[in-house]
């Protein structure tokens, strides 16, 4: 299902991007551990979240969709999930599987996890190592890769775990497993990572303490065996999805877009200060707090961008936005340096290599050295004219479709299907704003 993106004359309009994927996963999981029925509004209806919903139902926390898009989760209480009768197929969802491994590790039964070809190549040892110390056992392929069997701890052991690499997924897996352990479970992170799990656990009634540490790290502690109470959750718009529309409106001349009710959690929205440093015209109108999450309307106008040096300590706050930031850098005037991107090598594909290959094919001068990427922009869009192999990576697919909106020659992608894992309406939404993305004929 290859698609082609062509030069557009400007993007205009007002949109609400789909619900936040990270928060949608957590609402389903933590709702499943609460007592009572949790109502979720604005849940992302995309492939990854659908997999988590099916898995939670298989674990005994029934998930039902009502008219109007409201979802209801029948919670089982902390420690109350049931052994699933079938394999939990997590598709392409790295967040879904890693967080659910944490949940499963805290329950005394055996469950089996599988995924698609991309997910099955991604490392799970970073999660299974701390969970094993809590009393769970795992059996999988080399490197701890899927398919994977987990037998949860009959008596989970509380843990103090120092993250070797800043990772919200690993942090969240340990905290979720710690819910069913007596006493305190603590994760020490070298740099702050997205804190959606901590915010939502507090909303449902858990005791979560966050202590800043010297040199910028944090210790996050959850008190185990809480009574979580069902709650109403409204999911904000996904900043990572909004990022594609933000950058598109910056690099397509004459564009002006308004994005409504976007989550701008500061540990998630590092792209905003980065784009501002590049000269982006973005107006942020803060809205009332959404369940502890920061919300805003964003107005974005086409801007002349300049290169910038992105500090590596900002990487955790924008790890999913580097593909689309690279497209902005390709159109900017001057050099942009992206540093410390080792985490991109273990995403849906080796995103660092995929960004570099794709940009070079579009006529951009790129230098890759270790975990660093240098992009040399010329103050105008690159020529384009390339066909990009997306390798089952939704963010690579959307990023290069955005670039094609401003290049003289079209930019194609070989497969648009992976976009459905996070943003099924992407092509329809962008075309509604003025983009020219079309399916290529078989010929």
| pLDDT average per 10 residues of sequence, the chain (443 residues) | 94 96 97 98 95 98 95 97 98 95 98 95 93 97 93 96 93 98 96 95 98 94 98 96 98 98 95 98 89 94 97 87 97 94 67 93 94 94 97 94 98 95 95 96 59
Determine the pLDDT at residue 392: 87
**Which 3 state secondary structure label does DSSP give 182?**
coil
Where in the chain do CATH 3.65.10.10 domains reside?
3-19+236-439, 21-221
Pick the CATH number of 3-19+236-439 from 1.10.3720.10, 3.90.25.10, 3.65.10.10, 2.40.70.10: 3.65.10.10
Q: How far is CA 15 from CA 37, 262, 291, 300, 426, in A?
A: 31, 10, 22, 12, 11
Architecture of domain 21-221: Alpha-beta prism (3.65)
Q: Active site residue: 48, 89, 238, 320, which one?
A: 320
Please tell me whether the overall predicted TM-score, pTM, comes out greater than 0.85 for this model. Answer: yes
Is the bond into 420 cis (omega within 30 degrees of 0)? no
* pLDDT at residue number 442: 58
d(CA 318, CA 57) in angstroms, rounded, equals 31
Q: What pLDDT is stored for residue 443 in this prediction?
A: 46
320 flagged as catalytic: yes
How high is the mean pLDDT of the chain? 95
Residues 114 and 120: beta-carbon distance below 8 Å: yes
pLDDT at 132: 98
Distance from C-alpha of 274 to C-alpha of 119, rounded to nearest angstrom: 30
**pLDDT for the residue numbered 349:** 63
| Alpha-carbon gap, residue 255 to 393, rounded angstroms | 27
* Beta carbons of 11 and 252 less than 8 angstroms apart: yes
């Amino acid at each position: 299902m290859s698609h082609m993106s062509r030069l557009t004359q400007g993007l205009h309009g007002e949109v609400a991007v789909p619900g936040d994927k990270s928060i949608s996963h957590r609402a389903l999981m933590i709702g499943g551990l609460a007592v009572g029925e949790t109502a979720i509004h604005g849940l992302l209806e995309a492939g990854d979240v659908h997999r988590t919903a099916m898995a939670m139902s298989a674990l005994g926390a029934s998930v039902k969709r009502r008219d109007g898009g409201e979802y209801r989760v029948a919670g089982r209480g902390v420690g109350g999930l049931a052994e699933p009768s079938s394999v939990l197929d997590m598709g392409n969802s790295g967040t879904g599987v890693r967080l659910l491994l944490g949940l499963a590790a805290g329950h005394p039964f055996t469950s089996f996890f599988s995924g698609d070809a991309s997910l099955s190549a991604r490392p799970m040892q970073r999660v299974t190592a701390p969970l094993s110390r809590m009393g769970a056992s795992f059996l999988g392929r080399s490197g701890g890769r899927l398919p994977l069997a987990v037998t949860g701890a009959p008596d989970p052991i509380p843990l103090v775990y120092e993250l070797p690499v800043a990772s919200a997924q690993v942090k969240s897996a340990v905290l979720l497993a710690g819910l069913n352990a007596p006493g305190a479970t603590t994760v020490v992170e070298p740099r702050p990572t997205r804190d959606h799990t901590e915010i939502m656990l507090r909303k449902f009634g858990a005791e979560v303490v966050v202590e800043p540490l010297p040199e910028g790290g944090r210790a996050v502690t959850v008190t185990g065996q809480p009574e979580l109470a069902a709650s109403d959750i409204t999911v904000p718009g996904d900043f990572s999805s909004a990022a594609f529309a933000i950058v598109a409106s910056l690099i397509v001349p004459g564009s002006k877009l308004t994005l409504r009710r976007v989550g701008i959690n500061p540990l998630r929205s590092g792209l905003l200060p980065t784009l501002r440093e590049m000269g982006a015209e973005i107006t942020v109108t803060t809205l009332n707090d959404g369940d502890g999450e920061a919300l805003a309307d964003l107005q974005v106008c086409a801007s002349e961008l300049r290169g910038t040096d992105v500090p590596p300590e900002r990487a955790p706050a924008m790890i999913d936005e580097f593909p689309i930031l690279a497209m902005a850098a390709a159109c900017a005037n001057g050099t942009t340096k992206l540093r410390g991107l080792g985490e991109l090598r273990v995403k849906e594909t080796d995103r660092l290599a995929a960004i570099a290959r794709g940009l070079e094919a579009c006529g951009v001068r790129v230098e890759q050295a270790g975990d660093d990427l240098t992009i040399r922009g010329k103050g105008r869009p690159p020529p384009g004219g390339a066909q990009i192999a997306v390798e089952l990576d939704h963010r690579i697919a959307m990023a290069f479709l955005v670039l094609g909106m401003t290049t003289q020659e079209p930019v194609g992608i070989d497969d648009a299907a992976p976009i459905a894992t996070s943003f099924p309406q992407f092509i329809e939404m962008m075309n509604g704003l003025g983009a020219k993305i079309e399916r290529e004929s078989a010929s």
